[in-house]
Homo-oligomer: A and B are copies of this chain.
């Protein structure tokens, strides 16, 4: 048994047998998707649907109660109304279930009566050595073995290097968008809900050790465990893996809203938390858009030491705006070496132009038929004065998809970060964006988002080195 297998959370992500209490045979209900996902995504463990009112789900036998199951149950996923939760949990005790995921809301987040019920549940579980995620949760998802707990019919589950820690189902209505349209590659995902038992410290501890997880992205409404322990842990993990944190309840009003949402208590002011994050080497995101953008770029690319960027834009005016964005986010415009400069000049118009930011549009106009985008990336990719590359994707005229994919993909593989943003995001099947992101070339809908994400690769590097130098 490896170290990671000894962590108690391991059996939540890799259960050998799972019972779904409340599984439904009605395709129109959310409770149908638990079993459907396990079957469709080919999860290989034992599956036991439990529902006193159903006989068969997707050809599988349905058990009236947990107690009727013959084999062991590693994990019971409980999706029943809150009023029936205690009864089901007593069945879990009787059945000697190891772990539970408690999905319903109606506990601590609704006030005093819910708090009392949650305390009663916790006592019952503790007395019987059962560990629990939730209540008020939906998870885990594990792309390593295709084990999923979700209300959504999950279309595909591309395996990758990043694991997510959520609180409160923020991701849930977006899960298919995240995996299929936004092209996130996933290792694991856990949603902590009310954090009655399993909390952010447990999740970080596990994912910090998990060899499949190379990047961690965490959404936090409040801190359930010891704040100092959390920060010590974040600091330790950040030395090895980038950790991105989105914390909500940053304002007083937001904190109040969090309290009535998951019963979270925000203990420290946001400024204190912000300073603590920096000391811990954590990359903080300020909004949901930024959180997903950073998650993508850290999954696709690797942290970078330098901050010298090369920028090419379609309309030249966007180069000026983009230069501003670079400086705001701590990047500087690379001064090209002679070789790169001479290569670039081959696509210049018949006069001198700025090499950085480069006006890709004017180059395209004077080199019609040439794949100007590929020439540019190829020219600057080999320059040691350039730490990263950002380019506006003008597929309408100046970029030939096939050659461009090859050149950029090679650049990324050689370890030089490249981010693309599209003038207009193409829609439909198998777009150039799909093709780029299939090769881990991240594509953003605007310059500011591309630059903000790219800059974070350097920001993390700087924070980590500062800690290493302490």
Instruction: Identify the A interface with B (CB < 8 A).
Output: 105-106, 110-111, 113-114, 166-174, 177, 181, 219, 221, 246, 248-254, 256-258, 260-262, 287-289, 314-321, 323-328, 332-333, 349, 351-354, 357, 359, 361-362, 394, 396, 423-424, 427-428, 446-449
Interface centre among A114, A261, A262, A349 (most CB of B within 10 A): A261
Q: How far does the alpha carbon of A167 sit from the alpha carbon of B106 in the complex, in Å?
A: 55
Flag if B254 contacts A317 (CB, 8 Å): no
Using known A-B contacts A111-B352, A351-B110, A353-B260, determine if residue A253 contacts B318 with beta carbons closer than 8 Å: no
Whether the pair A249, B110 counts as a contact (CB closer than 8 A) is: no
Are A251 and B328 in contact (CB-based, < 8 A)? yes
A254 engages B221 (CB within 8 Å): no
Check B448–A105 contact: CB distance below 8 A. no
Q: Would A251 and B327 be within 8 Å (CB), given that A315-B168, A320-B257 are in contact? A: yes
Q: Are A424 and B177 in contact (CB under 8 A)?
A: yes
Nearest CB of B to A437, in Å: 16
**Which residues of the partner chain B approach A394 to less than 8 Å between Cβ atoms?**
173
22 CB-based A-B contacts, threshold 8 Å: A114-B351, A167-B317, A170-B317, A173-B314, A173-B315, A173-B423, A173-B424, A248-B320, A248-B321, A248-B324, A249-B324, A251-B327, A253-B324, A253-B326, A257-B320, A257-B354, A260-B354, A287-B321, A287-B447, A288-B448, A289-B448, A427-B427
Nearest residue, chain B, Cβ from A176? B424
| Residues of chain B with a CB closer than 8 A to A424's CB | 173-174, 177, 181
CB-nearest residue of chain B to A291: B321
Residues of B within 8 A of A315 (CB): 168-173
Could you tell me if A321 and B288 are in contact, using CB atoms closer than 8 angstroms? yes
Known: A261-B319, A320-B258, A328-B251. A288 touches B351 (CB 8 A): no
Instruction: Return A294 CB to nearest CB of chain B, in Å.
Output: 14
A321 to B257, CA, bound (A): 9
Question: Most chain-B Cβ atoms within 10 A of its Cβ — which of A171, A258, A349?
Answer: A258
Do A317 and B168 have beta carbons less than 8 Å apart?
yes
Interchain CB contact under 8 A, B362 and A105? yes
Complex CA–CA separation, A111 to B262 (angstroms): 61
Judging by beta carbons under 8 Å apart, are B353 and A319 in contact? no
The residues of B that contact A316 with a CB separation of less than 8 Å are: 168-169, 261-262
Residues of B close to A219: CB separation below 8 A = 317
Q: Is the CB of B261 within 8 A of A359?
A: yes
CA distance A177 to B315 in the complex (A): 15
**Contact with A262, one of B317, B446, B447 (Cβ below 8 angstroms):** B317
Q: In the complex, what's the smallest C-beta–C-beta distance from A268 to chain B, in angstroms?
A: 15
- A170 and B353 in contact, given A254-B323, A327-B254 (Cβ under 8 angstroms): no
CB distance from A400 to the nearest CB of B (A): 16
> How far, in Å, is A373 (CB) from chain B's closest CB?
14
A105 to B288 CA separation, bound complex (whole angstroms): 40
Smallest distance from the beta carbon of A454 to chain B beta carbons, Å?
Answer: 15
Contact between chains at B249 and A320 (CB < 8 Å): yes
Q: Which residue of B lies closest to A177 (CB)?
A: B424
A446 and B173 form a contact (CB under 8 A): no
Judge whether A351 and B257 touch: CB under 8 Å.
no
- A177 CA / B446 CA spacing, docked (Å): 13
CA of A427 to CA of B176, assembled, Å:
14
Instruction: For residue A247, give the distance in angstroms from its CB to the closest CB of chain B.
Output: 9
Q: Which residue of B lies closest to A105 (CB)?
A: B362
B323 and A257 contacting across the interface, CB-CB below 8 Å? yes
CB distance A327 to B110 under 8 Å? no
Determine the chain B residues whose CB is within 8 A of the CB of A362 once the complex forms: 105
Most buried by B among A333, A396, A428: A333
Distance in Å: Cβ of A261 to nearest Cβ of chain B: 5
Closest 5 CB pairs of A and B: A168-B317, A254-B324, A251-B327, A170-B317, A248-B320
Task: List chain B residues, Cβ under 8 A from A318.
Answer: 170, 288
Measured between alpha carbons, how far is A2 from B221 in the docked complex, in Å? 60
Min Cβ gap A172→B in Å is: 6
Known: A248-B320, A250-B324, A261-B319. 14 other contacts (CB 8 A): A169-B316, A171-B315, A172-B315, A219-B317, A221-B320, A246-B321, A251-B328, A253-B326, A253-B332, A253-B333, A254-B321, A257-B319, A287-B321, A288-B321
